[in-house]
Structure 1
Amino acid sequence: MNKERLLQRFLQYVTCASETYQEREFCIMMEEELTSLGLHWERQEIGEMFGSNGWNLHAILPGTGAPLLLCAHMDTVAPGYGISPILRDGVIYSDGTTILGSDDKAGIAAAMEAVQTIVEKGLPHRPIEFLLTICEENGILGSKYADYSKIISKEAIVLDNEDVGHLVNQAAAYMKIHFSIQGKSAHAGVSPEKGIHALKAVAECISGIECGRVSEISVVNVANLLCPGQTNIVPEKADFDVEVRSYEEEELQSIVQNICGHVEKVCQAWGAKFCKTENRVSNAFCIPVTAPIIEKTCEAMRSIGITPVIEQTLGGSDITWLVENGLAAINIGVGMQEVHGCKEHILFEDMISTTEVLLRVLTT
């Protein structure tokens, strides 16, 4: 591997803005890189389905043996424009006014460096597939709507976890619910008693929903309360969102039913009406620790002095839809820290280690 090239590649990636729904420029950059390495690639034009100007990229480098899919997402959270990376004492930061974008461009950089090293040195390797996705940060949409008929691999490594050496083999079921509460408007000064206060009804709904870690295996959160209007009008409509995550489907469904029952009861007491929209973001899964992809990856980690840690997560990532579509997939750490904020950073040595692990898995 060329460490300086790895560093420059990463810096180039993060300075090319690709906030969710605005990935086009970075998609084009990746097409140019894939072409330069001799990989055959295709666009999966799915962005228009959910308002993105980008597309998934599927690429393959022929080899010998069982193929392996490498997956990472090209989009970032905001603020992701004008990123100015700073290398200080072996750690890469943003300038503090934006995110860094190591989530997930550190994963892409490590994968591309590993493949370039293989191509340049003519190393024997297994067939290598890439699935680079869009809109992961807002609903895991790129991998959800990917064209899996083109995927030849039965195993996959997702490069979208934090600590190097940590390997996710189990993730939670994840559901979002949008509630819309309909009250009745009235003049707040002249005839407030004729109104049905949608905002106060929603406030009571939210106050009765337990949030945070509601059990050892489940979490709940409430967000996006919206009730625009004027102060002299009794609010007639208010909306909010709830998300529920659980490692067990039965518990997830129980929590969702309890929340919906609570909202219905509150609305009845206020004389309001409500409607809800449920969105299944992902299903729960567990890849056995004896799966070959786990054993091979752990062996590669140990070979460079990293002790593997197999773990579960309540977070979402592309791995969910890979598993849903029949791949034995794991999500490995690449070193990103304090992601989704302006303090995001990554130890460059961790990017080097990630690249080394990939080289060993791909060439073994």
Structure 2
Amino acid sequence: MTHDTQAALDRLMRFLAVEGITGQEKAIAEDVAKALVEAGVPAEAIAYDDANTRIPVPTETGNLIVKIPGRGALSNGEPLLFSTHLDTVPLCAGAKARIVGDRIVSGGDTALGGDNRTGCAVLVSLAAELAKQNLDHPPLVLVFCVREESGLWGARYIDLDMVGPVAMGFNYDGSRPADVVTGAVGGDGWSVEIFGRASHAGVAPERGISASMIAAMALADAQAGGWFGKVVKGDKAGTSNVGTVAGRDGRGAGDATNVVTDYCYVEGESRSHDMAFVDAITDAFEAAFVKAAATLVSSEGKTGRVEFKRQRKYHSFAIDRNAPVVQRGIQAIEAIGLTPNPRLVNGGLDANYLTLHGVQTVTFGAGQNEAHTVDEWVDIPAFQNACRLAIALATAR
């Protein structure tokens, strides 16, 4: 499983230099496509789907989908899918990658973008090595998804007809190549608009209905009931978080200290490996807001009201460890001299939707560390092992 390590590292540094935060992936998609052609992939094998026209938030381009015909003794084998995502979190804007020893780091005031430029470099390096070494392999489909970081949108709306039939999938998104991620949590995003009643806070506060106080009462009630943070109820477990507390149009809740707040907006999330428990967590927050609105009564006997909305962000999945996709992953990891570590994770992945679409997909790491922080760094030896692993996965007999 040898490969050109310098070429692989050069690709990674090249991709890290291209900005492409979530929803703005056009430039990095074009550079990945260019690198694929340079690696020997025919231009006609590279295309974009129209997922961006169906994603309900602005997205510059569709998913990049690459079809590589099989070669040699394995050319008639069942097609395999390799996937990763093109986008980074907004904190990566302006990143300046540099190599320090066995690490790639940023300047310290932005995240790096190793999540997921490492995956992009692995897939392009796979295509390059298969062509350069003339290796036998079944037909391959390489998928570079958009908007993973903001809701797995690219994988959710991928054009399955363009992908075509595939036997199994291998996703790159994480730290350690030896990790075989066989399942991940599902999650809800929820939001609530709280409508109170304005009143002069110094003259007649009792006539007002504070939307801010309704929010505070609801969140305190949810926390007291054990529904905030790490949530454990009997044999059920999950997590929740409150991410935004604001007013209209991104402003702060309320207009002045002498006016009872008449509007507040709160949004959060619920996660669990058990989708019924995801619902239970979200239900608990909705009930807390409804209760708080009914509890806070003005001197005129009036109450506020709430409008609670929920959205299923992604579905949990768990693939049996005896499934062919897991066994192929384990065997490939062993083939490159590492010890496999099958595991579940508590974050959403493109594999959530690919598996939901009927393509059982396991996920491997490619050297990312401390993603989504200014301390993000890439483990170069782990990245090189991820490249070796991709070759092993694609060429296994």
Query: Which position in structure 2 is the counterpart of 1:259?
Result: 285
Q: What is the CA–CA distance in structure 2 between the aligned matches of 1:356 and 1:173, rounded to whole Å?
A: 30
Query: Which position in structure 2 is the counterpart of 1:55?
Result: 62
Q: What is the CA–CA distance in structure 1 between the aligned matches of 2:351 and 2:370, rounded to whole Å?
A: 21
Q: How does 1:157-172 map to 2 (within 5 A)?
A: 157-172=170-185
Aligned to 1:286, which of 307, 318, 323? 318
Query: Which position in structure 2 is the counterpart of 1:353?
Result: 385
Query: Which position in structure 1 is the counterpart of 2:119?
Result: 107
Cα shift at 1:154: 2.5
Aligned to 1:38, which of 41, 50, 57? 41
Query: Which position in structure 2 is the counterpart of 1:217?
Result: 237
The alignment status of 1:97 with 2:104, answered yes or no, reads: no
Q: What is the CA–CA distance in structure 2 between the aligned matches of 1:84 and 1:226, rounded to whole Å?
A: 33
Cα shift at 1:189: 2.9
Q: What is the CA–CA distance in structure 2 between the aligned matches of 1:237 and 1:148, rounded to whole Å?
A: 43
Query: Which position in structure 1 is the counterpart of 2:299?
Result: none
Query: Which position in structure 2 is the counterpart of 1:18?
Result: 20
Query: Which position in structure 2 is the counterpart of 1:73?
Result: 85
- Give secondary structure in 2 for the equivalent of 1:168: strand
Q: What is the CA–CA distance in structure 1 between the aligned matches of 2:276 and 2:344, rounded to whole Å?
A: 18
Query: Structure 2: which amino acid aligns with 1:60?
Result: K
Query: Structure 2: which amino acid aligns with 1:27?
Result: A
Taking every aligned residue pair, what percent have the same amino acid on both sides? 23
Query: Which position in structure 2 is the counterpart of 1:88?
Result: 100
Q: What is the CA–CA distance in structure 1 between the aligned matches of 2:321 and 2:93, rounded to whole Å?
A: 40
Given that residues 154 and 326 in structure 1 are in contact (C-alpha distance below 8 angstroms), is that contact kept between their aligned partners in structure 2?
no
Deviates more, 1:33-42 or 1:133-142: 33-42
Aligned to 1:277, which of 288, 309, 329? 309
Q: What is the CA–CA distance in structure 2 between the aligned matches of 1:190 and 1:23, rounded to whole Å?
A: 53
Given that residues 336 and 392 in structure 2 are in contact (C-alpha distance below 8 angstroms), is that contact kept between their aligned partners in structure 1?
no
Aligned to 2:138, which of 111, 115, 126? 126
Q: What is the CA–CA distance in structure 2 between the aligned matches of 1:162 and 1:284, rounded to whole Å?
A: 20
Cα shift at 1:74: 0.5
Query: Structure 2: which amino acid aligns with 1:23?
Result: E
Aligned to 1:317, which of 305, 329, 349? 349
TM-score norm. by structure 1 comes to 0.96
Q: What is the CA–CA distance in structure 1 between the aligned matches of 2:133 and 2:279, rounded to whole Å?
A: 52
Cα shift at 1:185: 1.3
- Give secondary structure in 1 for the equivalent of 2:378: strand
Query: Structure 2: which amino acid aligns with 1:53?
Result: E
Deviates more, 1:194-203 or 1:245-254: 245-254
Q: What is the CA–CA distance in structure 1 between the aligned matches of 2:391 and 2:65, rounded to whole Å?
A: 20
Gaps of 5+ in 1: none
Q: What is the CA–CA distance in structure 1 between the aligned matches of 2:374 and 2:122, rounded to whole Å?
A: 22
- Give secondary structure in 1 for the equivalent of 2:96: coil
Q: What is the CA–CA distance in structure 1 between the aligned matches of 2:131 and 2:141, rounded to whole Å?
A: 14
Cα shift at 1:47: 2.5
- Give secondary structure in 2 for the equivalent of 1:208: helix
Cα shift at 1:241: 1.1
Q: What is the CA–CA distance in structure 2 between the aligned matches of 1:313 and 1:85, rounded to whole Å?
A: 28
1:135-180 CA distance string (max 9 Å, x none): 1101111111111122221310110122221111111221111111
1:235-274 CA distance string (max 9 Å, x none): 1110111211111122222222222112111110121100
Cα shift at 1:91: 0.9
Given that residues 78 and 98 in structure 1 are in contact (C-alpha distance below 8 angstroms), is that contact kept between their aligned partners in structure 2?
no
Query: Structure 1: which amino acid aligns with 2:62?
Result: W
- Give secondary structure in 2 for the equivalent of 1:129: strand
CA RMSD between the two structures: 1.4
Query: Structure 1: which amino acid aligns with 2:18?
Result: C
Q: What is the CA–CA distance in structure 2 between the aligned matches of 1:161 and 1:351, rounded to whole Å?
A: 10
Query: Which position in structure 2 is the counterpart of 1:247?
Result: 273
TM-score norm. by structure 2 comes to 0.89
Cα shift at 1:196: 0.7
1:58-111 CA distance string (max 9 Å, x none): 111010111111111100012222221121121111111111111011011012
Q: What is the CA–CA distance in structure 2 between the aligned matches of 1:11 and 1:209, rounded to whole Å?
A: 45
The alignment status of 1:226 with 2:246, answered yes or no, reads: yes
Gaps of 5+ in 2: 297-302
State the 4+ residue runs in structure 1 displaced beyond 4 angstroms.
none
Deviates more, 1:205-214 or 1:351-360: 205-214
Cα shift at 1:116: 0.2
Query: Which position in structure 2 is the counterpart of 1:189?
Result: 202
1:155-213 CA distance string (max 9 Å, x none): 10110122221111111221111111110112223332221100111011112223221
Deviates more, 1:102-111 or 1:211-220: 211-220
1:102-133 CA distance string (max 9 Å, x none): 10110110121121011112111111111111
Query: Which position in structure 2 is the counterpart of 1:176?
Result: 189
Cα shift at 1:285: 1.2
